Amino acid sequence: MPFTNDDLAYSVDPVLWAREVLGYHPDDWQSRLLRSRSRKIILNCSRQSGKSTTCAALGLHESIYRRPSFGLVIAPSQDQSAELMMKFDEFRSAVELPSDYLSTDTKLAVKFANGNRFVARPGSEKTARSFSAVTLLLEDEASRVLDDLYNTVRPMLAVSNGRHILMSTPFGKRGHFFRIWSEQRDLWEWYEIPAEKCPRITKEFLEEERRTNPWFEQEYLCVFMETVDSVFSFDLVAAAISDEVEPLFGVDNLD
């Protein structure tokens, strides 16, 4: 594909590309995300805030303009990973690519003629662990992705020095998404996007949800609520833990 002056500008500014080529006009936080080059990013976002759409646009931009690029989407289920892939395909249909620019194209995988790939996989440790040299790992609905899967995919970034983006609405005080948000944010570039920062969600809708949805704070305000089946609250358990208490039988007798 010939490389034009417009392509040069688009390659260095994904926001300009998104506006002029995709017809997608990102919010301010979405623009920051598209332009970020941080290796570790965590998005704690309201439902319907546009996190998956933005990451689909980011994945397509890198597939076209960065080489090598291998984008991998994981989610708790195949339907959820396929949903982000569908957004990727919708954006791809807006880009005028030569007919020979795609070498393979399936519902859950695209391979470009430049060798770049973009693949979606369901939330299974067995189906995901075969990949390597991932340059962009997108973890959708990360609060519901099992820790086994999260631990399995992390080594895929080792050689490529790839980027890892966690995006989710909270789902209780558990799992790697909660731990990273509550304990490791200093190691990640982080975004907190409650519903009031999304111009497409009306105040009237939110007020109705506030009155009728018991999960309102979780779904729209980015709050990590106590898990429903917990006997003790997370804060109570955390307060009971002390590094000053020695094991009852000694460390040497724990084997």
Distance CA 219, CA 223 (A): 8
pLDDT score at 113: 87
At residue 102's C-alpha, the angle toward residues 83 and 125, to 5°, is 45
Tell me the fold of 5-242. Rossmann fold (3.40.50)
pLDDT score at 237: 40
| CB of 122 closer than 8 Å to CB of 139 | no
For the entire predicted model, the pTM comes to 0.85
Least confident of 89-98, 179-188, 234-243: 234-243
CA 244 vs. chain centroid, Å, equals 37
Distance CA 164, CA 162 (A): 7
pLDDT score at 212: 98
**Whether the bond into 68 is cis, omega within 30 of 0:** yes
Residue 254 has pLDDT above 80, yes or no: no
Q: Closest by alpha carbon to 35, among 57, 52, 7, 20?
A: 57
How buried is residue 108: exposed, middle or buried, by Cβ count under 10 Å (0-12/13-18/19+)?
A: middle
Residue 199's pLDDT band (cuts 50, 70, 90):
very high
141-182 pLDDT, tens digit each: 999 999 999 999 999 999 999 999 999 999 999 999 999 999
How buried is residue 86: exposed, middle or buried, by Cβ count under 10 Å (0-12/13-18/19+)?
A: middle
Sketch the domain layout of the chain as residue ranges: 5-242
Q: Closest by alpha carbon to 123, among 149, 101, 147?
A: 149
